[in-house]
């Protein structure tokens, strides 16, 4: 059986939906960011801080190549994985690719207190700055996310329903 790969901006529900899909299909869940953290022995924030974003992106590419030949897995990607077309090509092999979307205010509400978002790292007193960064990153990546064929807006949908929609598409 093929994989299900979840793409989308941070805070769109990839981890939550991935866990639900993993339970419903009895497939292992690969959280790419978690896998990288485990392999490096550092958090994503520390990798960005100590080794830089380009180093992190190279780790994403290595991992996308490694898991591209797997099957019957749920793969939850990091939000910036779409910045390198090779990742999309690798992860599209033998997979249903799904892009989870949400509007900027939903994303902000879901992640505003999360300290593990290096691209949004800012002083807690600058809430507006964090929201502006979300808007900018979403705008910069919009066309890349739109390349993923199966799109689901997660703003007002129950996660269980979202997972059922994905499973229906997966079984076609």
Q: What is the pLDDT of residues 25-83, one digit of tens each?
A: 999 999 999 999 999 999 988 999 999 999 999 999 999 999 988 899 999 999 899 99
Tens digit of pLDDT for each residue in 60-73? 999 999 998 889 99
d(CA 17, CA 35): 17
Residue-range domains of the chain with CATH? 3-161 (3.40.50.300)
Neighbours of 35 (CB within 10 A): 18
User: Structure pTM?
Assistant: 0.89
Tokens of 58: 């190279």
Question: What integer pLDDT is reported at residue 10 of this predicted model?
Answer: 87
Q: CA 32 to CA 75: how far, in whole Å?
A: 7
- In percent, the amount of the chain with pLDDT more than 70 equals 92
- 10 within 8 A of 117, measured Cβ to Cβ: yes
């Amino acid at each position: 059986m093929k994989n299900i790969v979840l793409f989308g901006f941070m805070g769109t529900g990839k981890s939550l939906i991935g866990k639900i899909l993993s339970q419903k299909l009895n497939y292992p869940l690969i959280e790419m960011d978690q896998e990288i953290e485990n392999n490096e022995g550092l958090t994503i924030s520390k990798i960005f801080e100590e080794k830089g974003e380009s180093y992190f992106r190279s780790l994403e590419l290595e991992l996308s190549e490694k898991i591209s030949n797997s099957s019957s897995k749920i793969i939850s990607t990091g939000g910036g994985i779409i910045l390198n077309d090779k990742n999309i090509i690798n992860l599209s092999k033998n997979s249903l690719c799904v892009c989870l979307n949400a509007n900027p205010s939903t994303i902000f509400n879901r992640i505003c207190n999360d300290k593990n978002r290096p691209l949004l790292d800012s002083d807690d007193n600058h809430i507006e700055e964090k929201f502006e960064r979300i808007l900018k990153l979403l705008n910069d990546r919009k066309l890349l996310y739109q390349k993923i064929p199966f799109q689901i807006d997660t703003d007002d949908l129950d996660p269980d329903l979202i997972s059922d929609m994905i499973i229906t598409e997966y079984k076609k």
